[in-house]
Structure 1
Amino acid sequence: MKRREFLTMAAAASASLSMPRVFAAPHASSGISTQLDASATGRAPGKLLILIELKGGNDGLNTVIPFADSTYYALREHIAIPRDRVLPLDERTALHPAMRALLPFWRDGQLAVVQGVGCAQDHVSHFRSTEIWDTASCADVYGRDGWLTRAVGQCAAMQRGVAAASFGSVEPGPFAGSADRVKAGGAWARVDDPDAAPHVEGIDADEGEGEGARVSGATRALKVSAPTLRDSIDAALRSIVDGTQAHTCGAIRLTLDGFDTHSNQPARHAALLEQLAEGCATLRAELTRRGRWRDTLIMTYSEFGRSARENIHRGTGHGGGAAHFVLGGQVRGGLYGRAPDLARLNSAGNLPVEIDFRQLYATALGPFLNLDANAVLQDDVPPLPLLRT
């Protein structure tokens, strides 16, 4: 794509969108984080919310492993992670060995593992489950607007600048409905080449065009197709972190696809989890270098977990509650929620949901972004105690 074409698309993208209990906690360390000197810009650094979608339904039991539970090994004779390979977090819970890059987060007290997260009423449909997570609705409510569309709308009403972007997926996801709320033009610009999207704001123009073109408006949004999670991260850093003023808030969705592991799960799942862990490590390193890690919150999400019992194809079916990760410079690290009880599966053979997924969103919206979480979620949803005050 030519630079001039991208400028045209980015200009069209410009719009003001009306868009438990801790079981164990590691020792916190303050050595990793640095905060941007507000005096350098005259304004405080903007918050960065980064969602990482584990598309397809991630297997929580092989991600956060109850390695002390013999039932786990009985249910998963061929795909269980051997005890001598896991990465223990405490005496009963461990990470998949491919996630070694997350151990520094755990040691520094910047990784919260939230167990049993999901929708109160399980749906086996990828489409419907994803729709529920994207709109932050109850299972019997069919919403249109994505929850981040509503959050960005609240920011716009408060005159807070926001740069919003989705990388690695052609679907708007939590930004659904944003196209219906713009005053003119489209809410999203489609950019297939991440290298063609260096900035959201202040894009360099072609040679001979002087100071270049400025994208106007309080909120900018684009979506970029990127072949790998690392490509998505690189594009997000260029466009949202480096391409906007430091005081601008950022709402970023990254998609890592391939988690629908009905067969031959072990090798596929390990490769995906390694990408996830190393991607998070890259984000922390790059955002720390830029002085933005203290004001960043990373959160994983997926439409559902997987079945507790393996199938005959050495994979898993669609399941219920699963563990998710929350990482950041303000995170109070530890294990949250109820550990999986494999003797208490529901009638479908899945782990029950213990924590409403919307509580993760409420935590990001309220304590982190200082927004009215109940107004965005259109319900009274309490946050989780995942952040340091």
Structure 2
Amino acid sequence: MGRILLLIELKGGNDGLNTVIPYADPKYREFRPGIGVARDHTIQLDEKVGLHNKLEPLMESWKAGDLAIVQGVGYPYPNRSHFRSIEIWDTASASNQTLSEGWIAQAFRGATPPKGVGVDSIVVDTNALPSTGPELRTIVMQDAENFLRQAHALRDTGGMKDGGNPALRHLLAVRQEINAAAKGLADKLRDAAAPKEAYPQEVLLGRQLDLATRIVTARVPVVAIKAALGGFDTHANQVQPHERLLGFLASNLATLRKNLIAANLWNDVVVMTYSEFGRRVRQNASAGTDHGTAAPLFVMGGGVKGGLHGAYPSLGDLTDGDLRHTVDFRSVFATMAQGCWGQQRDFGLRQPQRLSLL
């Protein structure tokens, strides 16, 4: 069996420039005199870039070499609508193309996901698009207790008659399969040990990662789990809300790492953050940032080759005031499909960039 991909969507468009900071570039202060992160609030990673100091809990992973930062991730002809841009990411489409199947489902086209409890992907937030498609059986489960209650209450449809109607027969068969999967998953989750270290509970992400940890430690043979942290649409008075969100993200990811190391499963999971877009380079008149383009993403896991990957976009070479992407997000997805599941996919790119993440 391959690795489980744990996706964490940063909803709203995370400001990459104040996450992975080009502290040595004088243009950074020029574009962001009011909201730029001070040098003494920056954890230097090399002579050019550093992390916001609220991400300090991730430094243990960085020093251990299992945190990778992919810089400048985006796509050509970027779209600045939340709804359209996240759809582009979730379906690995070109910006002028509309697809209905998620990129994880596409990765398994014609392949056989692992057999087990009848579930291939579990979504613990509300957006299931990445794993939506005919190839994957996906369960959306935001609340474990509620799910366990519902699974217990499911009635077996085996005795129901289809009256010779093929459409009804198909529906009953699907329903029976879903019921069986839900019950199988519920049994595994009931037996799962609680994580060694409790997750911070200030945001939903803590509850979601608690559930994700139980799924992994119960050895449910899924290919992907998806969680999310919202609040990144920072148009006004950005500094404090963004700092808080980065703090929540870092403390939860650090706890996840400790729990999976304690369960001896850190090598079996790859964690990846992503967001629909970054923010504009220049701060706006409301001490915030508007919708932009390229941004960094984090990849963590016991088998991850840590460090900086991809080139930081130049602040001296902007397009319409926005960063030019240096890594196409579909190259990241191609790397994940190969490294996690052994699937060769190019997601419509003629030549995906080879990223040595896994």
Give TM-score, length-normalised by structure 2. Answer: 0.81
- Contact 1:110–1:328 (Cα < 8 Å) also in 2: yes
In structure 1, what is the equivalent of residue 345 of structure 2? 373
CA distance in structure 1 between the partners assigned to 2:353 and 2:28 by the alignment: 30
In structure 1, what is the equivalent of residue 334 of structure 2? 362
CA distance in structure 2 between the partners assigned to 1:194 and 1:257 by the alignment: 20
Summarize deviations over 1:98-153 as a string: whole Å, max 9, x none: 10011011111111111110121111111110110010011111101011122345
Which secondary structure does the structure 2 equivalent of 1:117 belong to?
strand
- Contact 1:46–1:249 (Cα < 8 Å) also in 2: no
Deviation of 1:297 (Å) = 0.8
- Indicate yes or no: 2:132 matched with 1:168: no
In structure 1, what is the equivalent of residue 43 of structure 2? 87
CA distance in structure 2 between the partners assigned to 1:338 and 1:387 by the alignment: 14
Q: 1:299 to 1:383 in 2, by over 3 A?
A: farther
How many equivalent residue pairs?
317
- Indicate yes or no: 2:235 matched with 1:270: no
How is 1:146-225 mapped onto 2 (pairs within 5 angstroms)?
A: 146-156=102-112, 160-161=115-116, 163-169=120-126, 171-177=127-133, 191=141, 193-197=143-147, 205=152, 215-216=180-181
Deviation of 1:173 (Å) = 2.5
Q: 1:364 to 1:281 in 2, by over 3 A?
A: same
Partner letter of residue 71 of structure 1?
K
Summarize deviations over 1:65-108 as a string: whole Å, max 9, x none: 00011110111111001011111101111001110011011111
- Indicate yes or no: 2:62 matched with 1:106: yes
- Contact 2:237–2:286 (Cα < 8 Å) also in 1: yes
In structure 2, what is the equivalent of residue 33 of structure 1? none
Deviation of 1:328 (Å) = 1.1
CA distance in structure 2 between the partners assigned to 1:233 and 1:52 by the alignment: 10
Partner letter of residue 73 of structure 1?
R
In structure 1, what is the equivalent of residue 76 of structure 2? 120
Deviation of 1:252 (Å) = 0.9
Deviation of 1:196 (Å) = 2.9
How is 1:11-26 mapped onto 2 (pairs within 5 angstroms)?
A: none
Task: Decide which structure has greater helix share.
Answer: 2
How is 1:347-358 mapped onto 2 (pairs within 5 angstroms)?
A: 348-358=320-330
Which secondary structure does the structure 1 equivalent of 2:130 belong to?
helix
Summarize deviations over 1:203-234 as a string: whole Å, max 9, x none: 7x58xxxxxx98349x989xxxx961101101
C-alpha RMSD over aligned residues: 2.8
Counterpart among 297, 314, 335 of residue 270 in structure 2: 297
Deviation of 1:384 (Å) = 3.5
Between 279-288 and 357-366, the greater mean CA deviation after superposition: 279-288
- Indicate yes or no: 2:303 matched with 1:330: yes
Identity %: 40
In structure 2, what is the equivalent of residue 31 of structure 1? none
- Contact 1:112–1:386 (Cα < 8 Å) also in 2: no
Deviation of 1:191 (Å) = 4.6
Counterpart among 92, 97, 105 of residue 136 in structure 1: 92
- Contact 1:147–1:174 (Cα < 8 Å) also in 2: yes
- Contact 2:314–2:324 (Cα < 8 Å) also in 1: no
Deviation of 1:192 (Å) = 5.2
CA distance in structure 1 between the partners assigned to 2:252 and 2:148 by the alignment: 19
In structure 1, what is the equivalent of residue 53 of structure 2? 97
CA distance in structure 1 between the partners assigned to 2:227 and 2:57 by the alignment: 18
CA distance in structure 2 between the partners assigned to 1:313 and 1:334 by the alignment: 34
CA distance in structure 2 between the partners assigned to 1:295 and 1:199 by the alignment: 29
CA distance in structure 1 between the partners assigned to 2:322 and 2:295 by the alignment: 10
Unmatched runs of 5 consecutive residues or more in structure 1: 1-44, 207-212
CA distance in structure 2 between the partners assigned to 1:65 and 1:138 by the alignment: 28
Partner letter of residue 241 of structure 1?
V
CA distance in structure 2 between the partners assigned to 1:294 and 1:263 by the alignment: 40
Partner letter of residue 252 of structure 1?
I
Give TM-score, length-normalised by structure 1. Answer: 0.74
Deviation of 1:46 (Å) = 4.6
Partner letter of residue 283 of structure 2?
E
Summarize deviations over 1:217-264 as a string: whole Å, max 9, x none: 9x989xxxx9611011012222x214444xx24301111111110001
Which secondary structure does the structure 2 equivalent of 1:232 belong to?
helix
CA distance in structure 2 between the partners assigned to 1:124 and 1:332 by the alignment: 31
Q: 1:215 to 1:288 in 2, by over 3 A?
A: farther
Q: 1:102 to 1:327 in 2, by over 3 A?
A: same
Which secondary structure does the structure 2 equivalent of 1:387 belong to?
coil
CA distance in structure 2 between the partners assigned to 1:306 and 1:98 by the alignment: 19
Partner letter of residue 330 of structure 2?
R
Summarize deviations over 1:275-333 as a string: whole Å, max 9, x none: 11112112111111222111211111111110000001110011111111111111111
Which secondary structure does the structure 1 equivalent of 2:248 belong to?
helix
Unmatched runs of 5 consecutive residues or more in structure 2: 154-177, 187-201
- Contact 1:232–1:254 (Cα < 8 Å) also in 2: yes
- Indicate yes or no: 2:277 matched with 1:307: no
Q: 1:84 to 1:139 in 2, by over 3 A?
A: same
